[in-house]
Amino acid sequence: MVLKDTIDTKGAHLLQGFKNWVDDVARTPATAQTAAEAAGVGARVAVTPGKVVYRNHLIELIRYDAQTATVHPEPVFIIPSWIMKFYILDLSPRNSMVRYLVEQGHTVYMLSWRNPDEHDCGLTMDDYVYTGVLDALAAIGAGSGADVPVHAMGYCLGGTLLGIAAAALARTKGVKGARTLPPLKTLTLLAAQTDFSEPGELGLFIDESQIGLLDNITRGQGYLTGKQMAGSFQFLHSRDLVWTRRMREYLMGEREHASDLMAWNADTTRMPATMHHEYLTSLYLYNALATSSRVDGHTVSLGDIRQPVFMVGTQRDHISPRKSVCKPHHLCEAEITFVLTSGGHNAGIVSEPGHAKRGYQMGTRKAHGQWWSPRNGLRRRYNMRARGGRHGSSGWPHTSSAPVAAAAIDPGYGARVMRRVVM
């Protein structure tokens, strides 16, 4: 193919490919940031109207009001991975899960993680559970009522963190301040691992020596950069994400049209040094969550979870393999529904209903379309009786409007609030 193009274009495509290579080599972190802004965060992606209703050093909590005359009384709380920018589930309007939910009459709360810097090197997994998930849950309860149940949804590592938080809340001792938290009514885990005994290809990169090497890197800078993380994920799917793309851009002189998903993928985040070490050691190396992890010094077990759990795995997931995603079947006694959908780790989750090339399977039943269409699991999971009026319209002091272009792109929005001093 390359030789044919060379003959047909008399080598012009090789010259264009060389220019593409020069552009990539010359791209600096500063220009990469400009590229993320050019992706249109708040203009072309992350456009569902929302309000930031709570913030602390680690998170911002965004509320999206239902866009219907009647509103389901129980809100949906979405927790993305801490290595993801929140708008993975609010891309362009056609494939925004947030937009889909609010158009179905749901009030949605989205957690947006702060992009940590060197001052955050001491943040731990417990900080992400308490200051992240549980503080956000308390804020939701303050606005909607501590007795109003919440339907929690976690994507990727956000689902892992949700599993940890739900197990901590379910244990006999509970957690500090649990009485002020609204109850979790259901859990939805999207491409989320809770048992890391079969972590997939990523497990090939993780052993004690590799963790030691990464610790040396993160201790020096205080965090693991998004670029360092992205390299590992790209080489897990190297044929499509590395070699095919390089051949097309450098040998054939073609540039890919940047999709909303590609723009989001380029908008990387960092991971604090201490939390990164705990995450790799406790989850990947020792599989502590499946074998009883510890939160705030006390053991938690997924076996204590009793809420209905709705899990989604994807057929071609190179990050969270479906065999790993469905393992809560063996870890807890809750009612569990598992859906296997076509696509990979991201495209399989965010593809909109009606997508011609998507399908899903529940048990032995296969169906066309996307798993979050009105006729399948997501709608049934949230099919509560609606009520008139807009949820939370009078109980919240809005902090700021959300788009969150600031929260999504600004590498340190926590500078606008009191900094937590980590010793």
The answer to whether position 138 is within a domain reads yes
Looking at residue 300, its pLDDT comes to 85
The answer to whether position 281 is within a domain reads yes
Looking at residue 376, its pLDDT comes to 44
350 contacts 261 by C-beta, under 8 angstroms: yes
* 172, amino acid identity: T
pTM: 0.81
Catalytic-role residue among 121, 156, 326, 332: 156
Q: Is 178's pLDDT higher than 60?
A: yes
Q: Is 55's pLDDT higher than 90?
A: yes
pLDDT tier at 393, thresholds 50, 70, 90: very low
Q: What is the residue range of 219's domain?
A: 2-23+46-416
Q: What is the DSSP letter of 363?
A: T
pLDDT tier at 405, thresholds 50, 70, 90: very low
The answer to whether position 33 is within a domain reads no
The answer to whether position 39 is within a domain reads no
pLDDT tier at 363, thresholds 50, 70, 90: confident
CA 235 from chain centre, in angstroms, equals 20
Q: What is the pLDDT of residues 58-81, one digit of tens each?
A: 999 999 999 999 999 999 999 999
Mean pLDDT of the chain: 78
- At which residue do the structure tokens 């209905």 appear? 308
d(CA 180, CA 139): 9
- The closest of 64, 45, 167, 57 to 113, measured between CA atoms, is 57
What is the CA angle 39-43-44, rounded to 5?
Answer: 60
Looking at residue 125, its pLDDT comes to 93
Top-confidence residue, 247 or 218: 218
Q: Where are the beta strands (DSSP E) in 72-204?
A: 76-79, 108-113, 150-155, 184-190
Strand, helix or coil for residue 331 = helix
Q: Which residues contact 34 (CB under 8 A, 6 or more apart)?
A: none
Looking at residue 145, its pLDDT comes to 87
Strand, helix or coil for residue 61 = strand
| Number of domains the chain is built from | 1
246, two tokens: 């390089």
For residue 232, what is the domain's CATH number? 3.40.50.1820
Q: Alpha helices of 145-285 — where are they, by DSSP H?
A: 157-170, 208-221, 226-236, 238, 244-246, 260-266, 273-278
Active-site residue, 326 included: no
The answer to whether position 31 is within a domain reads no
The answer to whether position 28 is within a domain reads no
Looking at residue 409, its pLDDT comes to 29
d(CA 203, CA 295): 24
Weakest-pLDDT range from 5-9, 265-269, 364-368, 412-416: 412-416
